[in-house]
């Protein structure tokens, strides 16, 4: 198999690239944080499918007239089919009562005859807090179990390298959401968890090939190890690309044609899938090489130097 | 050319197509849709400490769950879903329900019936004297009935006390004195006890309409909630919005399937065709599993299944790339297919196991929507393993053994690759 490019040898650049993105993500986090949806922040979220162009001013007047004043920036306009912006999402800091919900529905119907029944979600502050704690736990717990599984089936270095790549993907998706001010709700957690599962899946296929090649031809020195991993990466390259392509087709179709309420969810998936494919190839395996190389029995001196840089 | 093998392949294909075309619509109709696809609402209640401030006990929460189930069933909504979450929260999913206010009233509110021997006048009005509490809703049997008083014709609720002796003692003590009946903190009736009542039966009048009496009777029969419930989260989806989401997502899934079909055909030719047929088997089997196990299909679940299509072909891709490798290593097509399949299996199992772990954690930790997604992800992993590994492999091996198509080019292997 021809290897057009030595990925392992250039690993420094990929580490640097991912490191920079991670730092940039951290800065964005610290500056702005998440745009939390009602699942994590108490309040109400009203989704109106108007089936006609949304006029924000008119809509905000309607809410003012029923005693629920909303700022124009509390109204998000969207549309799923890409034709026109026909869906309005309104966020309230307070929790709406059932009778207020009824009033909204009645006024919406009167003002926009073509509209569908509104979709309303209300969350109490206590629940909101609990949800966010659970969300963080579930990601960490999933990572922990995957580490255990991989450590048993492979070895602990593979497990840790895989987890680093996986957390990298989860972090990139979170950074993109923080940067673009996209709403983070419960389905976002499902998306991050799917990415966690998918990214490790991708990585395992490559690790599996490395494991097999290690058995066939155990490398004598660090250069040999580098060559072996690079060979394994290129042997699995067609699979890596083709698989991410088919999953991306599915995710992109959901993004463009799927329902409005899973719009953000599929966007998170798309970002995560791309990041997952990248990190499996350019982060996980090179990381393993750098680590494994340290414990090789007979490291020649100049190679030792490279590891340290 | 071996027709027997090709016949086996052909029969498999026909069985898959036949089953899918024949029964998939029927199966689809039997799959329960979640409230985000059908419309309806989702209510989350917290079991709160009782009046005395005592935290709910485990058995008390179980009793509350049972009481909620009874109440939900009285609403008559088809296939409601009631779950205990986080130890002290009760989630009620009512797909297809429309009247939010009514449901909340029936589920979360208790008819707090109390009979007192005295009242106190406060700024807010007349309030019961807590020191003179006699009996309440907890003391009566679940056989309350709305009836018309034979003499006055007014509607009232007939109740029976669990402990007839207790009621007899009370009425004896209060003979000639007034007693006051409060419902949810409001005085509905005050009357003077004429004589001692034995047998434990009495009736509550003063409610007014027949409807109010029937409502009270059913609330009393539903059993008192051992602890008050607080509605902490609610989610309402209009029915037409649900249908719109369903149609849009199905449409997206349809296009995704077609594009993946085309991609696999271009990349792997005949092998791609086998992958496409196993994809149809995947879609069909997923329907069977959802229908058979009565798994509720939600919007995130549907998204997981569409995504699963992309992941399902992964097993095929791993296998085919492996077969290509074996051909490059100098094996014949047939032996490459067999070794390739064998070697790919371990990779496929290991990689899917990790995704499955993530799905299990999601199910374990998640609530509502996330659970729906996790279930669909688990189903899609297992079904895709079955179809891609068993069905796909079987078809692929019978096809190559039939010797119908011998040239590696038809399996998406570039010319000359085999010679290397």
pLDDT tens-digit series, residues A46-56: 877 777 777 77
Q: Chain A residues with CB inside 8 Å of B370's CB?
A: 186-187, 189-190, 193
> Which of B233, B363, B374 has the highest number of chain A CBs within 10 A, making it the mutation to test binding with A?
B233
- Residues in chain A within 8 Å Cβ distance of B318: 205, 239, 243
Residue tagged 């406060």 (tokens): B122
Query: Which position has the higher pLDDT, B55 or A155?
Result: A155
Could you report the per-residue pLDDT of B279-320, keeping only the tens digit for each?
999 999 999 999 998 888 888 888 788 778 877 888 999 999
| Token duo for residue B172 | 């004896």
Partner residue facing B362 (CB), from A47, A138, A149 = A138
Q: Which of B358, B371, B416 to substitute to test the interface with A, most A CBs within 10 Å?
A: B358
Query: What is the CB neighbour count within 10 angstroms for residue B50?
Result: 14
Proportion of chain A above pLDDT 90, given as a percent: 27
**Higher pLDDT pick, B292 / A88:** B292
Nearest CA in chain B to A140: B361
Predicted confidence (pLDDT) at residue A306 exceeds the cutoff of 50: no
User: Which tops the pLDDT comparison, A112 or A2?
Assistant: A112
pLDDT at B53 over 70: no
Q: What is the CA radius of gyration of chain A?
A: 24
Q: Which residues contact A64 (CB under 8 A, 6 or more apart)?
A: A70
Closest CA to A92 of A69, A111, A110, A66: A69
Token digits of residue A297 = 């029995």
Which of the pair, B144 or A270, is modelled with greater confidence?
A270
Do A242 and B317 make contact, defined as CB atoms within 8 angstroms?
yes
Closest CA to B333 of B397, B272, B273: B397
DSSP string computed for B261-318? HHHHHHHHHHHHHHHHHHHHHHHHHHHHHHHHTTPPB-HHHHHHHHHHHHHHHHHHHH
Size of interface A-B (CB pairs under 8 A): 236
Minimal Cβ distance to A247: which of B241, B246, B311: B311
Q: Does A184 touch chain B (CB under 8 A)?
A: no
**Shortest distance, CA B170 to any CA of chain A (angstroms):** 41
CA distance A277 to A243: 9
Could you tell me which of B290, B378, B277, B363 has the C-alpha nearest to residue B83?
B363
* Residues in chain A, total: 309
Q: Which residues pair with B178 in a beta bridge?
A: B192
- How confident is the model over A255-266, as pLDDT tens digits? 998 877 788 889
Q: Is the pLDDT of residue A5 over 80?
A: yes
Q: Which residue has the tokens 């049997």?
A: B141
Q: Is the pLDDT of residue B119 over 70?
A: yes
Shortest CA gap B210–chain A (Å) = 25
* Cβ–Cβ below 8 Å for B310 and A248: yes
Task: Determine the distance in angstroms separating the CA of B309 from the nearest CA of chain A, rounded to an integer.
Answer: 7
Q: Do A198 and B355 touch (CB under 8 A)?
A: yes
Chain B residues in contact with A186 (beta carbon < 8 A): 367-370
Report the gap between the CA of A211 and the closest CA in chain B (Å): 11
The answer to whether A258 contacts chain B (CB < 8 Å) is yes
Two tokens at B7?
Answer: 């016949």
Nearest-neighbour CA in chain B from A262: distance (Å): 7
Q: What is the largest CA-CA distance in chain B?
A: 111
> Tens digit of pLDDT for each residue in A163-210?
899 889 988 998 888 888 888 877 787 788 788 888 888 899 999 999
For residues A134-161, average pLDDT: 88
**B chain contacts of residue A134, beta-carbon cutoff 8 Å:** 365-367
Facing A200 at nearest CB: one of B303, B354, B374: B354
Q: What is the mean pLDDT of residues A244-257?
A: 91
Instruction: Using alpha carbons, select from B323, B303, B324, B298 the residue that is nearest to residue A247.
Output: B303
3-state secondary structure of B13: helix
What does the alpha-carbon distance between residue B368 and residue B84 come to, in Å, rounded to a whole number?
A: 11
* For residues B49-54, average pLDDT: 67
CB atoms within 10 A of CB A278: 21
pLDDT at res. A303: 43
Q: What is the mean pLDDT of residues A31-43?
A: 74
Determine the pLDDT at residue B262. 94
- Burial status of residue A230 (CB atoms within 10 A of its CB: 0-12, 13-18, 19 or more): buried
Percentage of chain A modeled with pLDDT above 70: 88
Is residue A9 pLDDT above 90, yes or no?
Answer: no
Q: Is A97 on the interface with B (CB under 8 A)?
A: no
Stretch B183-212: mean pLDDT: 76
- Angle of helix B333-365 versus helix B368-385 axis, rounded to 10: 160
pLDDT of residue A122: 74
* Per-residue pLDDT band at A305 (split at 50, 70, 90): very low
Q: Nearest CA of chain B to the CA of A302: how many Å? A: 35
| Per-residue CA distances from A115 to A75, A139, A270, B25 (Å) | 17, 38, 30, 30
Distances (CA, A) of A235 to A8, A39, B70, B77, B336: 14, 44, 60, 56, 16
Give me the pLDDT at residue B110, please.
65
User: Using CB atoms, which residue from A120, A126, A238 is nearest to B236?
Assistant: A120
- φ and ψ at residue B228, rounded to 5 degrees: -70, 150
Nearest residue to B339 via CA among B350, B329, B352: B329
Least confident of A170-179, B134-143, B329-338: B134-143
**What is the pLDDT, as a whole number, of residue B115?**
81
Mind listing the pLDDT tens digit for each residue in A204-228?
999 999 999 999 988 888 889 999 9
Q: What is the DSSP string of B363-419?
A: HHH--HHHHHHHHHHHHHHHHHHIIIIIIIHHHHHHHHHTTS---GGGGTPPTTGGG
Are the beta carbons of B89 and B196 closer than 8 angstroms? no
On the question of pLDDT at B263 being above 90, the answer is yes
Cα distances (Å, whole numbers) of residue B252 to A80, A228, A263, B153, B256: 11, 41, 12, 63, 6
| Model pLDDT, residue A232 | 92
Q: Which residue of B has its CA nearest to A247?
A: B310
d(CA A130, CA A60): 32
CA separation for the pair A90, B51 (Å, rounded): 37
Model confidence, pTM: 0.72
Tens digit of each residue's pLDDT (9 = 90 or more) over B197-209: 777 778 777 777 7
In chain B, the percentage of residues whose pLDDT exceeds 70 is 90
Q: Taking CB atoms and an 8 Å limit, are A121 and B353 in contact across chains?
A: no
Percent of chain B, pLDDT > 90?
A: 11
Cross-strand partners of B91:
B44, B83
Q: Do A117 and B39 touch (CB under 8 A)?
A: yes
Cβ count within 10 A of residue B36: 29
Least CB-CB distance to A187: which of B100, B351, B369? B369
Return the top range by mean pLDDT from A40-44, A240-244, B188-192.
A240-244
Model pLDDT, residue B78: 67
CA distance from start to end of chain B: 27
B88: chain A residues, CB-CB within 8 Å: none
| DSSP string for A219-231 | -SSHHHHHHHHHH
The chain-wide mean pLDDT, for chain B, equals 81
Q: Would you state the pLDDT for residue B309?
A: 84
Residue B405 burial (10 A CB sphere; 0-12, 13-18, 19+): middle
Give the residue on A whose Cα is nearest the Cα of B255: A253
Cβ of B368 and A120 within 8 Å?
no
Could you write out the DSSP letters of every residue in A88-127? Answer: EEEEESSPPPHHHHHHHHHHHHHH-TTPPPPEEEEE-HHH
Q: Which of A96-105, A271-280, B346-355 has the lowest mean pLDDT?
A: A96-105
| pLDDT value at residue B79 | 67
Of residues A196, A120, A99, the one with CA closest to residue B377 = A196
Q: Which residue is associated with the tokens 């549907």?
A: B302
Nearest to B357 among A124, A131, A145 (CB): A145
Q: Are B286 and B27 within 8 A, CB to CB? A: no
Q: Is A217 on the interface with B (CB under 8 A)?
A: no
Q: In whole angstroms, what is the distance from residue B104 CA to residue A31 CA? A: 41
Q: Which of B296, B294, B225, B234 is nearest to B70 (CA)?
A: B225
Per DSSP bridges, beta strands A35-36 and A183-184 are: parallel
Contact A98 B311 (CB under 8 A): no
Q: What is the mean pLDDT of residues A230-258?
A: 91
């Amino acid at each position: 198999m021809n290897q057009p490019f030595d990925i392992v040898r250039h690993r420094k650049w990929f580490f640097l690239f991912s490191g920079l993105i991670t730092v940039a993500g951290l800065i964005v986090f610290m500056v702005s944080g998440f745009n939390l949806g009602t699942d994590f922040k108490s309040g109400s979220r009203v989704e109106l499918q108007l089936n006609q162009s949304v006029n924000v001013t008119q809509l905000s007047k309607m809410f003012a007239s029923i005693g629920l004043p909303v700022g124009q920036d509390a109204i998000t306009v969207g549309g799923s089919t890409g034709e026109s912006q026909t869906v309005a999402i309104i966020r309230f800091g307070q929790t709406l009562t059932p009778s207020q919900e009824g009033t909204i529905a009645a006024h919406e119907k009167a003002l926009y005859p073509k509209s569908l029944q509104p979709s309303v979600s209300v969350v109490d502050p206590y629940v909101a807090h609990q949800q966010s704690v659970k969300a963080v736990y579930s990601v960490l717990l999933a990572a922990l179990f995957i580490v255990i599984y991989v450590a048993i089936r492979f070895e602990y270095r593979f497990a840790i390298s895989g987890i680093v790549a996986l957390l990298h993907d989860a972090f990139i998706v979170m950074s993109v959401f923080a940067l673009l001010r996209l709403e983070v709700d419960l389905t976002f957690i499902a998306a991050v968890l799917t990415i966690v599962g998918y990214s490790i899946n991708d990585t395992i296929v490559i690790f599996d090939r490395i494991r097999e090649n290690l058995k066939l031809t155990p490398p004598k020195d660090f250069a040999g190890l580098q060559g072996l991993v690079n060979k394994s990466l290129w042997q699995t390259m067609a699979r890596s690309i083709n698989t991410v392509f088919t999953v991306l087709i599915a995710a992109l179709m959901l993004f463009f044609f799927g329902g409005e309420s899973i719009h953000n969810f599929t966007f998170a998936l798309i970002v995560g899938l791309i990041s997952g494919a990248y990190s499996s190839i350019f982060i996980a395996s090179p990381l393993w090489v750098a680590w494994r190389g340290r414990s090789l029995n007979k490291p020649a001196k100049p190679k030792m130097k490279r590891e340290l840089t | 050319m071996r027709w027997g093998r090709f016949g086996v392949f052909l029969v498999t294909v026909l069985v898959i197509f036949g089953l899918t075309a024949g029964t998939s619509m029927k199966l689809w109709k039997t799959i329960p849709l979640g409230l985000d696809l059908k419309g309806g609402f989702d209510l989350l209640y917290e079991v709160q400490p009782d009046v005395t401030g005592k935290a709910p006990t485990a058995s008390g929460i179980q009793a509350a769950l049972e009481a909620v189930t009874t109440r939900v069933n009285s609403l008559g909504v088809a296939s409601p879903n009631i779950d205990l979450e986080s130890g002290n929260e009760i989630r009620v999913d009512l797909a297809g329900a429309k009247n939010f206010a009514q449901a909340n009233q029936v589920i979360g509110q208790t008819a707090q019936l109390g009979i007192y021997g005295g009242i106190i006048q406060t700024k807010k009005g007349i309030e019961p004297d807590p020191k003179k509490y006699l009996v309440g809703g907890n003391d009566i049997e679940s056989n309350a009935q709305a009836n018309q008083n034979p003499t006055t014709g007014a509607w009232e609720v007939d109740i029976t006390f669990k402990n007839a002796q207790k009621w007899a003692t009370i009425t004896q003590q209060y003979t000639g004195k007034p007693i006051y009946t409060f419902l949810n903190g409001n005085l509905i009736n005050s009357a003077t006890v004429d004589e001692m009542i034995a047998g434990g039966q009495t009736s509550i009048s003063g409610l007014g309409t027949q409807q109010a009496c029937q409502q009270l009777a059913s609330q009393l029969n539903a059993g008192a909630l051992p602890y008050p419930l607080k509605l902490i989260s609610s989610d309402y989806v209009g029915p037409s919005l649900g249908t719109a989401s369903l149609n849009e997502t199905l449409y997206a899934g349809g296009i995704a399937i077609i594009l993946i079909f085309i991609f696999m055909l271009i990349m792997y030719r005949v092998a791609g065709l086998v992958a496409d047929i196993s994809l149809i088997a995947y879609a069909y089997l997923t329907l069977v599993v959802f229908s058979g196990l009565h798994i509720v299909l939600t919007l995130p679940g549907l998204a997981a299944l569409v995504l699963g299509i992309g992941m399902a072909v992964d097993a095929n891709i791993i296998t085919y790339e492996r077969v290509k490798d074996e051909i490059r290593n100098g094996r014949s097509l047939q032996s490459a297919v067999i070794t390739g399949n064998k070697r790919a299996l371990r990779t496929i199992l290991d990689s899917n196991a990790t995704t499955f772990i993530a799905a299990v954690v999601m199910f374990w930790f998640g609530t509502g929507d996330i659970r729906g997604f996790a279930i669909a992800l688990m189903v899609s992993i297992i079904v895709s393993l079955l179809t891609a590994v068993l069905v796909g492999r079987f078809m692929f091996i019978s096809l190559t053994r039939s010797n119908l198509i011998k040239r590696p080019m038809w399996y998406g292997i570039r010319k000359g690759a085999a010679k290397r």
